[in-house]
Amino acid sequence: MARRPLPRILSSGSASITRSREIARTAADSATDVLHPLITIVRGLRLLAASGRQKWVATPKERRGPKLFLAAACLLAVALVPYGPILALITVMGAAAWKGRERTPVKTGPDEAESTRLRALYEALVPYFSVADDPEPLFAHGGDWEKAFSGYAFDGDGRLTRLHVSYPAYFTDGEAAARARIEQLLHTKSGRGREYHFAWDEEANRLVMTVLGPLSTSVAAQRFVTAPGETVLGFTDPDAVRRTVPVRDGDTTVDAAPVVWRTGNRSTEPHLLAVGQPGSGTTTLIRSVALQALQQGDVLVVDGSGTGEYGALVGRTGVLAVESGLGGALATLEWAAHETERRLIFANRARQGGHPLPEDIKRPLWILLDRPGVLGHLAAADGRPDPQELLQVPLRHGRAAGVTVVLADQFDALETLGETVRTHTRARVVLGPASPEQITAVLGAEPNTTPPAEVPAGRGYARLGTGPVLRLQVPATPDPYDEDASESHRQAVLDVLPERPGDERPVAAAPRPDDAPAAVDAHDDRDTTEVPVAVEAVPTGQLAKAKAAIAEG
């Protein structure tokens, strides 16, 4: 059946009605634009009148009379002043225009998209934070999420950056597995690709989740402003430590939060163990420690991997030896054990006699051993003692003798580390990608942050003794002879390397804050400026003779 056309009056009428509406809307918009100043002033006058009425109502009755008298006196003064009424009218109109201006509405709560995200997160937490016999559950399907989330913040993309969660008291927040489930859920629902920090307050039953920014990877090797006996392992979050140091980050100087490792006879963590995957930056960490140790001490380097990563240290002032072969490593470590015993004997004699310590044992001695597992395997194949056995004396008595041991190895060689190494290396560092179980096995505690999406070289976690687990980024300290490394980073390493005997070049001073007092600046210059020190106690020649004598039997 054919469709009948609409009557002419209806088809033409709808078109005219639509056109009339458009004309009326256009006229209203034009009138609003023309009358906008008047509308603003009228709105301001209404707000001023309402504010005046509120103040008048709030005024006690005994004070209304004086206020009326004062207002009348002001009006009389304005009326008598030339051009007073006109100026008063202009002032009132200006105040009304300012009061009635359109202001950007202040955001007092989440928008629709943010509310949807928070409600979805609340519903996901219900199975973990609720039980069937709870008479007034804080978490329930279809419940009020505003009671559970006391604070929240979003970034410009609408993603959570901070969240305060209140959970019921019966939740087992003392169990690591229960906390891990909640952290994994929040990490997944809040968005992957970012690093989250979780702070549990068991007393108040609160959890604070914060999104962490990436640690800077552009800080290169340099002279750090530290006291004697302090070594900067790397840098962490500003709110994780109570101290900052000025560092050069590219062409600018910024204040960074360092992870400071203290050594010496009063240190509770006199020795360090670093573990990581291949290419994670453990060698970079040892090289950075060596550059800082050479400012005030002597260094022995044993490179178990034999890749020549420490070739730039050969022959430098303060570097006693750089060994990569099994025979040289065993001879060097045996000499280090004898030197530790000698220092202990002389220190004991000086203390018993009431004399100061001899100068030849005051200078710190650093033993840096990279990949001891490889040397142990070679020694076992050759029927020779494990190099770790020669470290027992320096590890056990090194703190009293001024001897510090730093070891670095990979995860697959952890089982080869002896009990003495595990017991006396209380300062621990884990670098590179690692599972929470691996991190806990090395540091003795699990980190309170999620793994980063990208793990650059030198990125990991550090724990000094029984302290908290801190995020860590080791300063960029590449081999200065590695052509694949950044030219600026290689030059930074060359600038802080001690000179070889006969070489002459200026030494860069450490950065200092611009607002530091003169006395502090002088102290920093004294502590950080490199002064070549002749090694009199154990020069390289004597070490070579000792190794030759040991090799001869």
The overall pTM is greater than 0.85? no
514-548: burial string, b at 16+ Cβ within 10 Å, e else: eeeeeeeeeebeebbebeeeebebbebeebeebbe
In the chain, which residues fall in CATH 3.40.50.300? 230-552
Q: Cα separations (Å) of 276 from 103, 371, 381, 439?
A: 56, 11, 25, 10
Q: Is 250 annotated as a binding residue?
A: no
Count H helices and E strands in the chain, helices first: 17, 15
Q: Is 440 annotated as a binding residue?
A: no
> Which CATH code is given to the segment(s) 230-552?
3.40.50.300
**Least trusted range by pLDDT, from 65-69, 308-312, 444-448:** 65-69
Nearest to 439 by CA among 452, 423, 454, 424: 452
Q: Give the pLDDT score at 74.
A: 86
**Least trusted range by pLDDT, from 116-120, 325-329, 366-370, 525-529:** 525-529
Q: Is 402 annotated as a binding residue?
A: no
Q: Is 283 annotated as a binding residue?
A: yes
Q: Is 234 annotated as a binding residue?
A: no
**Burial of 308: CB neighbours in 10 Å, binned 0-12, 13-18, 19+:** middle
The yes-or-no verdict on residue 515 having pLDDT over 50 is no
Q: Is 37 annotated as a binding residue?
A: no
Q: Is 279 annotated as a binding residue?
A: yes
Please state the rounded mean pLDDT for residues 531-536.
Answer: 34
CA distance 151 to 164: 5
At 384-405, the pLDDT tens digits run: 999 999 999 999 999 999 999 9
Three-state DSSP class for residue 120: helix
At 288-345, the pLDDT tens digits run: 999 999 999 999 999 998 888 999 999 999 999 999 999 999 999 999 999 999 999 9
Please state the rounded mean pLDDT for residues 417-445.
Answer: 93
Pairwise pLDDT comparison (96 vs 137), residue with the higher score: 137
At 359-388, the pLDDT tens digits run: 888 899 999 999 999 999 999 999 999 999
Q: Give the pLDDT score at 63.
A: 83
Pairwise pLDDT comparison (492 vs 11), residue with the higher score: 492
Q: Give the pLDDT score at 333.
A: 96
> Contact, 259 vs 455, CB < 8 A?
no
The yes-or-no verdict on residue 517 having pLDDT over 90 is no
- Could you tell me the pLDDT band of residue 531, with boundaries at 50, 70 and 90? very low
Q: Is 506 annotated as a binding residue?
A: no
